[in-house]
Structure 1
Amino acid sequence: MPEPRAFWLDEQFDRERGTDGRGRYEAEVIARIDEFADSWNDFAPVAFAATAWRVASELSPGFVRWHRRIVAATCARSPWDGSMVCAVTMVSRWPAELTWTKQWQRDRGWRDWPQVFGQFTTPTEQDQTRSPHLRALLQVEAPVPLDDLPPAPGGPDDDVASAARRAVVVLVRELNDLLAPMIGQLEAGVPADS
C-alpha cells in the first residue's frame, strides 16, 4: 500500500477559481503583498517562505491541503537561530498505556475522536453531555531543510507570486518527507516492527 500524503497543493481548484489569468493563490499573494514586506532582500529565505505558507494555508479552502489526521500546520522562523521550523498537530489513537486495559474507563463509556465521513471532528456539545471524550493529539515540532527554498524577492515589483508558489511547493515536499511515514503508521493502526 502506498504511503499517504501528509500535504499536497490543490492546483486544480486553484486554477479553476482563479481570475484574470492568475490562480487563486497567486491573486491572494498579490492582494496580501504587504505581508511579505519584512522579508524583502532577506539573505535567508525563511521569513518569505513562512509567509508564503501562511497565506497558502489561510485560503478557504486552502491552497495547501493536508491529510485528515492533521489539525494544524505552521512553518515559521525559529527565534533561536533563524532556521525554518514546523509545528504540526495530528490526530492520534489513544496511547498504548490506555488501550492495554480498560480498567481506567470504569464503564463510563469513554469515546475517541468522532468521525463524519472519515473526517475527524470535535464532539458536539450534545455529545459532550452524553459521554466523556478522550481525543489524543501528537504535536510535531521539527526543523525544515532550507536547501531548495527560493531566495526572498527584492521587493513587491519582483515576481513574488511565483517565488511564493515555489516556496510552498518545497515546504510541502519537505513536510511530506518528514510526516508521511508517521501518518502511514497511524493509519495502519498496528505497532511498527521493532
Structure 2
Amino acid sequence: MRMPEPRAFWVDEQFDREHGTGGQGRYEAEVLSRIDKFADTWDDIAPVAFAATAWRVASELSPGFVRWHRRIVSATCTRSSWDGSMVCAVTVVSRWPAELTWTRQWQRDRGWRDWPQVFGQFTTPTEQDQTRSPHLRALLQVEAPVPLDALPPAPGGPQDHVAPAARRAVVVLARELNDLLAPVIGQLEAGVPADS
C-alpha cells in the first residue's frame, strides 16, 4: 500500500485569520503595510514580479503565511532574467548520497554526523557539536520553472485590491510548489530507494 505524500508547501489560513487585526488577516495587513515593495509591479503585463513580491512578503512573516515541510530550508520565487518567466529555487535537506553510505571507510573512525534534529526539526550543529565531531549535511538545490496560468494579474496600483491579489498569488505558488516537490519530500521521508 502506497503512503500518501507529505505536503511540501501550504498556506496557513487559520493562523493568519486568528492573528489578524481589524477584520484583516495578518498577511493582508502586512501586504498593505509594505505596499511600497509592490510599486515596480503595477500594471505589469505579466503577473510574475507581483507574485514574486507577494511570495517574498509571505515567506518573511514569522511564522510565515506560507509554510513548508521541515526538510525545506528555503524557497524563493523570482522573475527569470533570461525570459521573464517565474522560477523557483528551493533548498531541501537530504540524506547522504548513496556513494557515502555504501561503505563507512571514508569516515576513518572520526564520528561523522548527519543533520542534527531537535523535536524532528533539522538544525545547524551548535558550536559545541562542531568541536566534538565533523558534520556532513547534504542539501539538494531545486531550481525549476513555475507555471503562470493561475496567477492573478498584477494590480494597476495601490488602490486596486492588492492584498487579495497577493493572497491569491501566494496560494497559487504554494500549490504549484507543492505539486512539484511533494513527491521529492515523500521519497526522502521514505528513506528507501524508489521502485524502478
**TM interval, short-chain normalised:** over 0.9
Residues 1:39 and 2:44 are matched in the alignment: no
Paired with 1:13 and 1:69, the residues of 2 have a C-alpha distance of: 21
Structure 1 segments (4+ residues) deviating >4 Å: none
Paired with 1:79 and 1:19, the residues of 2 have a C-alpha distance of: 38
TM-score, reference length from structure 1: 0.99
Aligned length: 194
Deviation string, structure 1 residues 108-133 (Cα, Å, up to 9, x no partner)? 00000000010000000000000000
- 1:171: which partner in 2? 173
What is the CA distance between 1:88 and its match in structure 2?
Answer: 0.1
What is the CA distance between 1:79 and its match in structure 2?
Answer: 0.3
Match of 2:193 among 180, 191, 194: 191
3-state SS in 2 of match to 1:60? coil
Match of 1:14 among 13, 16, 36: 16
- 1:24: which partner in 2? 26
Match of 1:160 among 159, 162, 175: 162
3-state SS in 2 of match to 1:155? coil
- 1:87: which partner in 2? 89
What is the CA distance between 1:55 and its match in structure 2?
Answer: 0.2
| Aligned Cα root-mean-square deviation (Å) | 0.4
- 1:76: which partner in 2? 78
What is the CA distance between 1:10 and its match in structure 2?
Answer: 1.0
Paired with 2:171 and 2:27, the residues of 1 have a C-alpha distance of: 12
1:99-114 matches, within 5 Å, as 99-114=101-116
- 2:66: which partner in 1? 64
3-state SS in 1 of match to 2:90? strand
Identical residues among aligned pairs (%) = 89
What is the CA distance between 1:2 and its match in structure 2?
Answer: 1.1
